[in-house]
Amino acid sequence: MAYKFDFGAIVPHWELLLNGVVLTTELTVVGSVIGVSLGVLGAWARASRAPVISQIVGVYVELIRNTPFLVQLFFIFFGLPALGVKLTEFQAAVLAMVINLGAYSTEIIRAGILAIPQGQIEAAQSLAMNRVQIFRYVVILPALKKIWPALSSQIVIVMLGSSVCSQIAAEELTFAANYIQAMNFRAFEVYFIVTGVYLVMSILLRWMLKVFGNFLFERRNHV
């Protein structure tokens, strides 16, 4: 007996899917903004000559990059309550994404910082700028510009990785898909559609990151 496709069976659940898209978007936006900010601070610490802080950040980066995201998520959601830290599904999902992206973007942004010619930093020093001023006005923007494509890819990876958050019942897109197919047994149709939705979201996200990058690095008056 051949399987009869019935995409119409998904239609009644459109609200669930839409909710999933919204939550995935929220997770991605909040996770990326905080995660990249963390990465900027982490990269600064790694590139600075403060050995203790740099090593602490190094341990954090290696810890996160060498363990599965799912385990990190479970640790935060199921493990931390043992220490009295009880988070909602959304909070746990965001925290896991922030910690994960923070580690990866630390390494990416550090590479950008290290690519800034030492002479420019020395010129800034000789102009009596302090560390914070040098980082803010001389280093960070050209550094981000150099690694923007890599950072954009990492953000897309994090968005796609957010599907794992369905495992703690955060009601994002994959969770919605799992839920719908459990009700109507239309696994092919549901996952087919959800694949398409993720694809469109990725393409949109890449495009928006590109536009944002162009805005950020555009030649205009900064000072």
Partner 1 sequence: MSLVELHAIYKSFGELEVLKGIDLRIEEGQVIALIGRSGSGKSTLLRAINGLETINDGTIMVAGKKVGDRDTDLLTLRLNVGMVFQQFNLFPHYTALENVMLSPQVVKKLSKAEAKEVAEEMLIKVGLSDKMLHYPDQLSGGQQQRVAIARALAMKPRVLLCDEVTSALDPELVNEVLAVVRQLAEEGMTLVMVTHEMRFAREVCDKLVFMHQGRIHESGAPEDVFANPKTPELANFVGGLAGAA
Dihedrals φ, ψ of 22, to 5°? -60, -45
DSSP class of residue 159? H
* By CB under 8 A, residue 66 contacts partner 1: no
Token pair recorded at residue 138? 């001389």
Q: Does 214 bind partner 1 (CB under 8 A)?
A: no
Site string for partner 1, 132-161 (x = CB under 8 A): -x---xx--xx--x----------------
Q: Are residues 113 and 44 in contact, defined by beta-carbon separation less than 8 angstroms?
A: yes
Total of residues contacting partner 1 (CB under 8 A): 23
Distances (CA, A) of 38 to 43, 45, 109, 126: 8, 11, 11, 29
Of 107, 206, 118, 196, the residue nearest 156 (C-alpha): 206
* CB distance 107 to 65 below 8 Å: yes
Of residues 145 and 206, the one with the C-beta less far from partner 1: 145
| Interaction between residue 125 and partner 1 (CB under 8 A) | yes
Rule CB under 8 A: say whether 75 interacts with partner 1.
no
Sign of CA dihedral 23, 29, 32, 37: negative
| 49 near partner 1 (CB under 8 A) | no
Taking CB under 8 A as the rule, does residue 109 contact partner 1? no
Nearer to partner 1, 52 or 223 (CB): 223
Among 43, 45, 73, 124, binds partner 1 (CB under 8 A): 124
Residue 117, SS3? coil
Comparison of 4 and 49: residue with beta carbon closer to partner 1: 49
Nearer to partner 1, 44 or 175 (CB): 44
State yes or no: residue 51 binds partner 1 (CB under 8 A).
no
CA neighbor of 156 nearest in space, from 216, 196, 201: 201
Of 4 and 222, the one with the shorter C-beta distance to partner 1 is: 222
Amino acid at 100: N
Q: Give the range of 48-56, 115-123, 170-178, 192-200 binding partner 1 by CB under 8 A.
A: 115-123
Q: Which of 96, 94, 57, 55 is nearest to 75 (CA)?
A: 96
Give the binding site for partner 1 (CB under 8 A): 117, 119-120, 122-130, 133, 137-138, 141-142, 145, 217, 219, 221-223
